[in-house]
Structure 1
Amino acid sequence: MMEVSKPRRLFLWCMAAIYMVAFVSLYVQIPGLYGNEGLLPARLELRYGIRSSPTLLWLGPHLGLDIQASMELLCLLGALLSLAAVLMEALRDSLVFLCLWVSYLFMYQVGQVFLYFQWDSLLLETGFLTVLVAPLTLVRGSRGIREHDSMTFWLVRWLLFRLMFASGAVKLMSRCPTWWGLTALTYHYETQCIPTPLAWFAHQLPVWWHKLSVVATFVIEIAAPFLFFSPLRRLRLGAFYLQVLLQTLIILSGNYNFFNLLTLTLCLSLLDNQHVNFWLRKRDDNRERKEGVSAGSSERWSWICYLLELMVWSLIIFGTIVFFDLQFDPHKNGVSSRTAFTFDQFNQFLKAITIPCIWMGVLSLTWEMITSIFRCACVSGFLTRFWGMFQWSVFAAAAASMFTISLVPLSHMEYDSHVHLWPVVRQAYDLVDRLQLVNSYGFFGWVTGVGGRPEVVLEGSYDGVTWTEIEFMYKPGNVSAPPAVVTPHQPRLDWQMWFAALGASAPWFTSLVYRLLQGKPDVIELIQTDVSQYPFHQQPPTYVRAHRYRYWFTERKPDGSHQARWWRRVYDEEFYPMVHLGHTYLENMLSRYGLKDKLPPRHPSNNTVVQLLSWTRSQVKGIPAHTIIWAMLACSATWCFLMGLISNRKHTDRISTCTETVVNLIDEAEKQGDEKSDAEQEKEEEVEKD
C-alpha cells in the first residue's frame, strides 16, 4: 500500500501558495478591470448578469461597501487566509480551503471575460478537491492523517490524467496543420501570449529539433498519462518526471501565470512517502523492515518488475519511432520525423481507448477504496474503527460522485462515448456545471500566427497628426524591448489584447479606448504600473486609434551573436478607427455593449473597512504585481524553511536526548553487571579457599 501522507502535505502547501498568488494577482487589477471606472464594471454584471446566482458580493452594501470595495475585501481576505495557510500547517484545513474556494468562485462569477481562462476553472476544480483532501485539523486539533487519504488524493491524480490526456488529444483532434506537420513549435515560441527571453533562443533552434520536441510533447501528454495508474511504482515516478520536464520547459519559455505551477502541484499525486524521503535524504524504516523480512522473495519480485518496466518503456519508444517515423538524418546531423498516421486512425484510436480509460479509472478507484476500507478495519478500538468506517463511507461516496460526473467532460473528446453515457450522469453534471466542480480541458489546441504574430498597437494623439504608441508593460510592442518575465502573475488585460488581435474588437476594447480618452488612472495602471512611463500621464490624449501589426522574432546573426532588436514587424491593417470623446462611432459602440450606465455608482461610506482598504491600496500602488507576488513567495518559503530547520533541530535534540538516556541505561546496566560479576567472582574465590 502506497503511503501518501507526505506528498499530501506538500500538495496542501502548494495549493495554499497558489491561492495566495491568484488572489494577490487579481487584487492588484480589480480597480482597472472591475472598478466603477474600470473596463467592465462589476456592478453592471451584478445588476444584469447574475441576479440568480448567490454571491457574497451582494452583502457589500450592507457593510457600507460598493461592489469594487467588496471585491477588494474578498480578495484581500483570500490572500491573507492563504498566506496564513502557507505559514502554518494547522491552517491547511478543509474548512480553510473551502473558504478559499468559495471566495475565488464568487470572483469568478463576476470576472466575465477576464476570468474565463482554463486555469481559473482548473484552480476551482483542484480547489474543491483540496477541500476533500485536506484534514479537519481545526476540529480535531491534529495533523489529520486519515486511513482514507489515498482515496481522496486519487481524485487529484485522475484530474491530472484528464488534463494531460485531453491537452494532447485536442492538438490532433483540432486538425491543426502545424501539430500534424510537427512544426507547431516553429511558430509557438514567438506567437504565444507573453513569451520570455528564453523563447527567443528556443526559436533559433533547428527545425528538426522543434519537430522532435513536438513528438516528445505528444508522448508526454498522450502516452505517459496512462502510467499514472500503473501498479509499478517506478513507472509512475517516470511519468512524474516527464510531466515535470514538460512543465518546467513551458515555464522557462512562456509566462503562463500559475497554470504550470498548478499542474506541477497535481503531479505530486504520483509520489509516495518513500520518494519524498529520498528527496529529503531520509531513511525509510518501513522499507528496510520489509526488505529484512522477505529479502529472497523481494529480490525475485524486483527482477520481474524491472523486466515489466523495461518492456513498457521499450514499447513506448518503439511506438514513438513507428508512429512518427523517426530516422537519423546524416545530412542535417539530426533526427527526421513525420506523422505516420491519419486523422481517421487517431479518431479510431480515441474511440477504442475512451471506454477502457473509464474502466481503468473505475478499477483504480475501486482498488483505492478497498485498500482504504482495509486500513479502517485494521484500526484497533471499536469506536475508532466505527468512526473511521463512517468517514470512509462519506468520502467514498464523494470520490465516486466526483469521478462519475467527471466522465462527461472526459467523453467530450469522443462523440460515441459521450452519447452512451447514462442520462443521469449528464443531468448530475448539468446541476453542478456553474460551480466549476469538473471542467473540460485542452490547452494549446491550435497554433495561431503562422503568418506572423498579430499584435494590436494602441496610439494616442493630441492633434490627430502626430501619434505616439501606447506601450504595454508586458505584451510585445516595442521591437527593441526584451520579452518580460512575469510568472506567476497574470496581467489579464495583456492576455485579452492577445486574443483581441486574433479577431475583431471586443466590448472591453471599446471600453479601454473610452477610459484612455478619459484618462482614468486605474486603467492606465493596467498598462504601466509606473504611471510616469505612460506617454499621456499629464493629459489624456484627444484621439485614440489602434492598428494591427505582424510580429516575428529576429534571427540570430551569422556569427551567432544576438540582434539589437528582439522583434521585427510589418503593418497589417486598421483595427480600431480614430475616435475622440463624443465621437458617433464610439458612442454607438458604448451604447450597444451597455457600457454607459445611466445610474451613478454607489459610493462607499467612510467607515473603518473602507479606510483600511484605501490604506492597503496606497501601500501597493506603483509596485509591479509580479514583484509583490515573488516577495511574498520568497518570504513565505524562507519562513517555512527556517521553521523546518528548527523543527528538525528539536527532533534531532530529542533523538539525541533519547539516545543519551539509552546509552546511560546501558552503561549503568553494564556497571551493575560488572559489579555483580566481581561479587560472584569473590564468592567463588572464597568458596575455593574454604
Structure 2
Amino acid sequence: MNESCHEFQFCKSLYLTDKYEFHLQAECNCTLLRIIERVAPYCYNSNNEGSPIHKPMNQFKPTMSRLFQPIADQRLVSWLFLRLLALVYLAAFASLSVQITGLVGESGILPLSEHFSLAGEHYGERARLWFPSIFWITGTSDLALKSVSLLGILFSLILLFGRWQRLTLILLFLLYLSLYHAGQIFTNFQWDTLLLETGFLAIFLVGGGNLLLIFLFDWLLFRLRFMSGVFKLVSGDPSWSGLTALNHYFETQPLPHIGAWYAHQLPELILKAGVILTLFSELLVPFLIFFPRRFRYLAAGTTILMQLLIIATSNHNFINLLTIILCLFLLHDPLLKRMLPASLQERIETPVQSPGRLRTALIVTASLLIVPASLISFGANLVRTQTVPAVIQDFSKTVQRFGIGHIFHIFPTMQTERHELVIQGSNDGQSWLTYDFKYKPGDPTRAPGMIIPHQPRLDWMIWFVPTQQPLQMNWFGRFIERLHQGSETVTALLEHNPFPDGPPRYLRVDSFEYRFTTVEERGQSGNWWHMEYQGFFPKVAPRIP
C-alpha cells in the first residue's frame, strides 16, 4: 500500500529590554543560538523605547544565562496572552464539540476506528508515534470523542481564570493534538497547527518569557506571515502578480459573510491597492519583527490592521484572532499599561519564576526542533522535493506530527469562479428535496452570515469538492454514503434534513456557479447571490484512496 495514501500533506526579534545590555556567548557551541545572535544586532534600553546601542557583537561579554532569564517588561504581555489564548482554545474546542462525532464518530463520515485500523496495518507499532493521540488509549467511541472536546472546554475555562496554568496548558495541547489527528482531513488545516504550536510554546511561558522563548513566538508569527507571501509569488497564480486577486477573493472564499458582499462592490483601484497592501504586509513587514522596538510596533500595527480587515470580510474561524494575539509579543508592558484600565492592572498578578534546568533544556530542545523542521519543510516546498535528502524530510515530518514546525501558505492561489454543490434526495425519482447546509451559500436570498470564531468543518470542506481531487472525492463519497444510510450524527451537521423518517431511495448532486449580485441586481431581486446551473455532478463511489 502506498505510504502517501495514509500520510497527510501538511500545508504548513529579537530583543531583550533591560537598562543595560544583553550579551551572547561568542564561543557558544549551539548553531541555533549563534543564528539568534546574528538576528539580534542591537540591544535595547527600556527607558529609551528601543534605541540601539552601537557596540560590536564581538565586544559583548559572555553571559549566556541571560538568554533564559525572564524579560522584565513582558509580564503583563504574558498574562494577557495566556488569557486570550484560553479564549481561542475555548472557541476551537467548542466548535469541534458540536461536529466531531458527525465527522469521525462511529457513524461519521470518516470513522476514527477505520483510520486507526488502516494506520496500524500500514505503520505497525509506529502508528502511535505517527498519529499521537489519546484515542489510542481511550478508544474511538462517540463518547470518547465528545468527552475530549468537553474536557478541552473545561480546561480552557480553567486557564482563562488563571488556575494551574502549566498543567492546564499541557492538557490542552495534548487534547487538541488528539483531536487534530482524529479529525483526519477535517482538521488538517493551518489554523489547527498554528494553535498547536502556539499552545505548545505557551507551556513554557508560565512564569515569564525569556529571550529564546520570545524568539520562538516571533519565529512562528514570521513564518505565518512571510511564508504566506512567498507562496503567493512562487505559485505562479496570475491573480497575485496581476493584482486582481481581490477581484475574486471575496466571492470565491470558502465561507464569506455579508461584509464580503460589500467589499466585492468596491472600485477596482481600491481592490488592487488591497492586493499591494496584502503583499507588502506579508513579504516586507514580517522582517520588522526582528528590528528594534519601534519597528516591532509597526509590524504589530500593520499585522493587526490586516487581520481586522480580514475579519470584516471573511469567516476564517479563529486564525485571525490567534494572529492578533501573537502580535502581543511585539509590544511591551509600558505600552499595554497605557491601554488597560488601572482597575484591571491592580488585579493582575504576574509572578516571575527563575527558570529551572528542566525548563531551560526543554526550551532549547523546542528551538532545535521547530526552527530546523520549519526551514526544511519551507525549502522542500520551494524547490523540488527530490533534491532534499529523505532523512532530512523524515526529521521534519516526524516533528510536524506533534503539531509544531509547520509551514504556512494562506491562499497561495485564488479561485476565479465559485461552484456550489446542491444535494437532493427523492423516494420516487420525481419529487426532489434539498439537503440545506448551515453556513455555506445555498438559498440566494439568504444573507451570508458571520460565524467567527466557529469553523463548520463540513461546510468548509465542501468548498474543495468541485476540484474533484481524489482525496476530496473520497470523503465526499463517504458523506453521500452516510446520507444514503440516514446517519443521524451526519445529518445533524446540516441545517435541514428533508427525510427525518428515513433516508431517501435516490440521491443526486447538481453543480451551480455562484457569484455575488451587483448592487443593481440586489435592488431588483433582493438576492445576495446569482446562481446558474452547470450540470450533474458525478457521485464517486465510496472508496479508500
With the length of structure 1 as denominator, give the TM-score of the two structures. Answer: 0.62
3-state DSSP of counterpart to 2:99:
helix
Question: Deviations for 1:632-654, whole angstroms, at most 9, x for unmatched residues?
Answer: xxxxxxxxxxxxxxxxxxxxxxx
Q: Is contact 1:42–1:68 with CA below 8 Å preserved after alignment? A: no
Distance in structure 2 (CA, Å) of the matches to 1:278 and 1:398: 36
Is 1:454 the counterpart of 2:426? The answer is no
Residue 267 (structure 1) aligned with residue 318 (structure 2): no
Q: Which amino acid aligns with 2:535?
A: E
Instruction: Provide Cα deviations, 1:400-448, integer angstroms capped at 9, x if missing partner.
Output: 4133433223434643999699x98656434423112210110000001
Give the corresponding residue for 2:203.
Answer: 131
Q: Distance in 1 between matches of 2:371 and 2:400?
A: 14
| Matches for 1:313-332 after TM superposition, within 5 Å | none
The match for 1:179 among 227, 234, 240 is: 240
Of 272, 291, 296 in structure 2, the residue corresponding to residue 236 of structure 1 is: 296
Partner SS for 2:538: strand
User: Among residues 562, 567, 570, which one is paired with 2:529 in the alignment?
Assistant: 567
- Report the 3-state secondary structure (helix = DSSP H, G, I; strand = E; otherwise coil) of the residue aligned with 1:557: helix
Return 5+ residue gaps in structure 1 as ranges: 136-143, 284-378, 578-585, 595-690
Paired residue secondary structure (1:90): coil
CA contact (8 A) 1:187 1:447 kept: yes
Q: Residue type matched to 1:59 in 2?
A: I
Q: Counterparts of 2:74 and 2:392 in 1: how far apart (Å)?
A: 30
Q: Is the 8 A contact 1:555 1:563 kept in 2?
A: no
Specify the alignment match of 2:169 in structure 1: 97
What is the CA-CA distance between 1:525 and the residue it aligns to?
1.2
Structure 2 partner of 1:160: 221
Give the gaps of 5 or more residues in structure 2. 1-16, 18-45, 47-72, 344-351
Contact 1:554 1:563 in 2 (8 A): no
Q: Measured at CA, do residues 562 and 122 of structure 1 come closer, stay the same or move farther in structure 2, by a change above 3 Å?
A: farther
Residues of 1 paired with 2:311 and 2:485: CA distance?
37
Q: Which of the two has greater helix per residue?
A: 1
Distance of 2:312 and 2:402 partners within structure 1? 32
Q: How does 1:221-620 map to 2 (within 5 A)?
A: 221-231=282-292, 233-280=293-340, 388=355, 390=357, 393-394=360-361, 397-398=364-365, 400-401=367-368, 402-412=370-380, 414-415=382-383, 428-448=395-415, 450=416, 452-503=417-468, 506-528=473-495, 533-557=496-520, 564-577=526-539, 589-590=541-542, 592-593=543-544
Instruction: Tell me, yes or no, if structure 1 residue 122 matches structure 2 residue 194.
Output: yes
Q: What is the CA-CA distance between 1:192 and the residue it aligns to?
A: 0.3
Pairwise CA distance, 1:396: 5.5
Contact 2:87 2:156 in 1 (8 A): yes
Q: Secondary structure at the residue paired with 1:516?
A: helix
- Shift, 1:282, TM fit: 5.6
How far apart in 1 are the matches of 2:531 and 2:355? Answer: 65
User: Would the alpha carbon gap of residues 562 and 228 (structure 1) be closer, same or farther in structure 2, given more than 3 Å must change?
Assistant: farther
Other structure's SS at 2:327 match: helix
CA separation of 1:177 and 1:416: change in aligned 2, threshold 3 A: closer
Match of 2:145 among 71, 84, 100: 71
* Counterpart for residue 81 of structure 2: 11
Aligned counterpart in structure 2 of residue 113 of structure 1, from 185, 201, 208 = 185
Structure 1 contact 456–549 (Cα < 8 Å) conserved:
yes
Q: Give the secondary-structure state (helix, strand or coil) at the position aligned to 2:401.
A: helix
**1:212 corresponds to which letter in structure 2?**
A
Instruction: Tell me the distance in 2 between the aligned counterparts of 1:127 and 1:563.
Output: 47
Distance 2:193 2:264 in 1: 30
Provide the rounded CA distance (Å) in 1 between the counterparts of 2:219 and 2:261: 35
Distance, in Å, in 1 between the alignment partners of 2:274 and 2:524 is 23
Letter in 2 for 1:540: P
Partner Cα separation in structure 1 for residue 428 and residue 480 of structure 2: 17
Alpha-carbon distance in 2 for matches of 1:107, 1:32 = 13
Equivalent position of 2:59 in the other structure: none
User: Does the 8 Å CA contact 2:101/2:145 hold for their aligned counterparts?
Assistant: no
Seen in structure 2, the aligned counterparts of structure 1 residues 459 and 94 have a Cα distance that, compared at 3 Å, is same
Classify the secondary structure of the residue corresponding to 1:549: strand
Deviation at 1:514, TM superposition (A): 2.0
CA distance in 1, matches of 2:464, 2:76: 41
In structure 2, relative to structure 1, the CA distance for the partners of 1:419 and 1:15 (3 Å cut) is: farther
Q: Partner letter of residue 25 of structure 1? A: S
Aligned pair count reads: 457
CA distance in 1, matches of 2:499, 2:385: 56
**SS of alignment partner, residue 49 of structure 1:** helix
Asked if the contact 1:256–1:490 (Cα under 8 Å) also holds between the matched residues in 2, the reply is yes
The residue that corresponds to 1:198 in the other structure is 259
Distance 1:80 1:563 in 2: 47
Once the 2 structures are TM-superposed, how far is the Cα of residue 391 of structure 1 from its aligned partner?
6.2
Deviations 1:86-130 (A, max 9, x none): 1x2133x22221111111111222211111111111111212111
- Distance apart, 1:164 and its partner CA: 0.1
Which amino acid is 1:41 matched to?
A: P
Assess, with a 3 A threshold, how the Cα gap between structure 1 residues 427 and 112 changes in structure 2: closer, same or farther: closer
Q: 1:58/1:479 Cα in 2 relative to 1: closer, same or farther (>3 Å)?
A: same
1:21 equivalent among 66, 91, 94: 91
* Partner AA of 2:528 in structure 1: W
Moved more, 412-421 or 387-396: 412-421
The answer to whether the Cα contact below 8 Å between 2:317 and 2:455 also exists between their aligned partners in 1 is: yes
Equivalent position amino acid for 1:536 in 2: F
Amino acid corresponding to residue 515 of structure 2 in structure 1: W
Partner of 1:311: none
| Superposition map of 1:664-683 within 5 A | none
AA matched with 1:89: G
User: TM-score, normalised on structure 2?
Assistant: 0.78
Instruction: Return the letter of the residue paired with 1:6.
Output: L
Aligned to 1:45: 115
SS of 1:168 mapped into structure 2: helix
For residues 358 and 96 of structure 2, the distance between their equivalents in structure 1, rounded to whole angstroms, comes to 36
SS at match of 1:24: helix
Contact 2:216–2:367 under 8 Å retained in 1:
no
Aligned-pair CA distance for 1:536: 2.3
User: For the Cα contact (< 8 Å) 2:380–2:388, is it kept in 1?
Assistant: no
